[in-house]
Structure 1
Amino acid sequence: MIRLLTILFAFSTYFSLPALAQQSATDDAAYVGSQVCAGCHDGMSAKWSGSHHALAWTAPSEETIVADFNNSSFLHDGVLTDFSRDGDSYNIDVTEADGTKKAFVVHSVAGIEPLQQYIIETEPGQLQSFDIVWDTVEKRWFHLYPDQKLPPDDGLHWTGPYKNWNGRCAECHATGFEKNFDAAAQTYASTQAEIGVGCEACHGPGSRHVSWADSNASTPSAPPTGYGFSMDFATAGTEATIQQCASCHARREPLSDGNPVPGTAFGDAYTLALLRPGLYHADGQIQDEVYVYGSFLQSKMYAKGVGCLNCHDAHTANLKAEGNALCSQCHSPAGNPDFPSLPLKVYDAPSHHFHDPESKGAQCTNCHMVERVYMGVDGRRDHSFRIPRPDLADQTGSPYACADCHGDQDASWASAEIAKRHPEAANREPHYGAILAQGRADPVGAQIDLAGLAQSPDHAGLVRATALWLLSQGADEEMTERVAPLLEDQDPLVRAAAIGVQARANPQAKVQRVVGLLEDPVRMVRIAAAKSMLNAPIARLPSRIAEQMRSAMGEWQLSLASRIDFPETHMVLGGMALTMRNIPAAEGAFREVVRLDPQHVEAWVMLTRIAAAMDGEEATRAVLAEALKSLPGNDTLLSLRSSISDD
Structure 2
Amino acid sequence: MIKKGILAVFICAVITVLYVYQQKSTYNYEYFSVGQDLEHHNGLKFAGSEACISCHEDIYKQHMTSAHFLTSTMATDTTIKGIYEANNNKLKIGKHHSFTINEKQDGFYQTLKNDSLNTIEKEHKIDMVIGSGVKGQSYFSWQKDKLFQLQTSYFVPTKQWINSPGYKEHTIAKPRPISVSCLECHATFAKTTASSETKYELSKRSMILGVDCERCHGPAKKHVEYQNKFPNDTIGKHIVKQSQLSRQQKMDMCALCHSGSKTKAPNKEFHFVLGDTLDNYLVKDFRDYYRAKYKSKLDVHGNQVELLEASKCFQKTETMDCNTCHSPHSNERGNLSMFNAKCINCHTHQNIECGLTEVADMQTKNNCIDCHMPMLKSNSLKIQNESGLVQVKVRSHFISINQTSKSKINQYIDSL
TM-score (norm 2): 0.71
Q: CA deviation at 1:434?
A: 4.1
Instruction: Tell me if structure 1 keeps the 8 A contact 2:92–2:170.
Output: no
SS at match of 1:329: helix
Gaps in structure 1 of 5+ consecutive residues: 1-23, 336-343, 391-397, 403-429, 436-462, 464-647
For 1:150 and 1:266, locate their aligned partners in 2 and report how far apart those are by CA, in whole Å: 41
What is the alpha-carbon distance in structure 2 between the residues aligned to residue 53 and residue 109 of structure 1?
Answer: 13
Aligned residue type for 1:328: C
Q: Does 1:358 align with 2:361?
A: yes
Q: C-alpha separation between the residues in 1 aligned to 2:343 and 2:229?
A: 45
Aligned with 1:90 (options 108, 127, 131)? 108
Task: Find the aligned partners of 1:275 and 1:95 in 2 and give their Cα distance.
Answer: 47
Q: Give distance in 2, aligned partners of 1:316 and 1:270.
A: 30
Structure 1 equivalent of residue 407 of structure 2: 400
How far, CA to CA, are the matches of 1:431 and 1:185 in structure 2? 42
Counterpart check, 1:345 vs 2:351: yes
Q: Could you say which residue in structure 2 is the equivalent of 1:546? A: none
Output the amino acid matched with 2:271. Answer: P
Q: Which structure: greater strand fraction?
A: 2
Q: How big is each residue's C-alpha offset from its partner over 1:549-575, in whole Å with a ceiling of 9 and x where there is no partner?
A: xxxxxxxxxxxxxxxxxxxxxxxxxxx
Q: Residue 290 of structure 2 is aligned with which of 251, 274, 293? A: 274
SS at match of 1:244: helix
> Structure 1 residues 135 and 353 mapped into 2: Cα distance closer, same or farther (>3 Å)?
same
How far apart in 2 are the matches of 1:432 and 1:270?
A: 24
Evaluate the alpha carbon distance shift between residue 56 and residue 25 of structure 1 in structure 2; reply closer, same or farther with a 3 A threshold.
closer
- Equivalence for 2:93: 76
The superposition leaves residues 570-605 of structure 1 with CA deviations (integer Å, 9 ceiling, x where unpaired) of xxxxxxxxxxxxxxxxxxxxxxxxxxxxxxxxxxxx
Distance 1:125 1:150 in 2: 29
* Contact 1:331/1:345 (<8 A) preserved: no
1:190 is aligned to 2:197:
no
Cα distance in 2 between the residues matched to 1:312 and 1:239: 16
Aligned amino acid, residue 159 of structure 2: K
Aligned residues: 350
CA contact (8 A) 1:285 1:382 kept: no
- Contact 1:106/1:118 (8 A) holds in 2: yes
1:91 Cα deviation from its structure 2 partner: 0.8
**Aligned-CA RMSD value:** 3.8
Find the counterpart in structure 1 of residue 63 from structure 2.
48
Alignment-derived partner of residue 330 in structure 1: 345
Describe the shift of the 1:214–1:147 C-alpha distance in structure 2 as closer, same or farther (beyond 3 A).
closer
Percent identity over the alignment? 17
The equivalences for 1:129-144 within 5 A come to 129-144=149-164
- Cα distance, 1:432–1:42 mapped onto 2, change above 3 Å: closer
Partner in structure 2 of residue 254 of structure 1: 264
Consecutive unaligned residues in structure 2, runs of 5 or more? 1-38, 384-390
Aligned pair 1:368/2:379, yes or no?
no
Q: Please say if 1:213 is aligned against 2:223.
A: no
> 1:503 maps to what in 2?
none
* Bigger Cα Rg: 1
* Partner residue of 1:159 out of 159, 175, 178: 175
1:286 is matched with 299
Q: Distance in 1 between matches of 2:392 and 2:187?
A: 21
- Corresponding position: 1:383 with 2:386: no
Counterparts of 2:414 and 2:228 in 1: how far apart (Å)? 59
- Secondary structure of the 2:69 match is coil
Residue identity matched to 2:327: D
Match of 1:405 in 2: none
**Shift in CA distance, 43/179, structure 1 to aligned 2, threshold 3 Å:** same
Residue 145 to residue 169, structure 1, CA distance change in 2 (3 Å)? closer
Flag the 1:312–1:68 CA change in 2: closer, same or farther, 3 A. same
Query: SS in structure 1 opposite 2:248?
Result: helix
TM-superposed CA distance for 1:54, in Å, is 1.1
Could you state the TM-score of these two structures normalised by the residue count of structure 1? 0.48
Indicate conservation of the 8 Å contact 1:253/1:270, yes or no. yes
Query: Would you say the 8 A contact 1:171–1:178 is kept in 2?
Result: no
- Asked if structure 2 preserves the Cα contact closer than 8 Å seen for 1:209 and 1:227, the reply is yes
Task: Give the Cα separation in 1 of the matches to 2:92 and 2:170.
Answer: 14
For 1:87, the aligned partner's letter is: Q
Q: Which amino acid aligns with 1:35?
A: E
Contact 1:48 1:316 in 2 (8 A): yes
Q: Conserved in 2, the CA contact under 8 Å of 1:243 and 1:265?
A: yes
Partner SS, residue 147 of structure 2: strand
Distance 1:432 1:315 in 2: 31
What is the SS of the residue equivalent to 1:188?
coil
- Counterpart of 2:290, as a letter, is L
Summarize deviations over 1:314-342 as a string: whole Å, max 9, x none: 3015269515624532354x24xxxxxxx
Hey, what's the Cα distance between the residues in 2 that align with 1:378 and 1:399?
15
2:198 and 2:116 map into 1 onto residues whose CA distance is 30
CA drift of 1:184 comes to 5.2
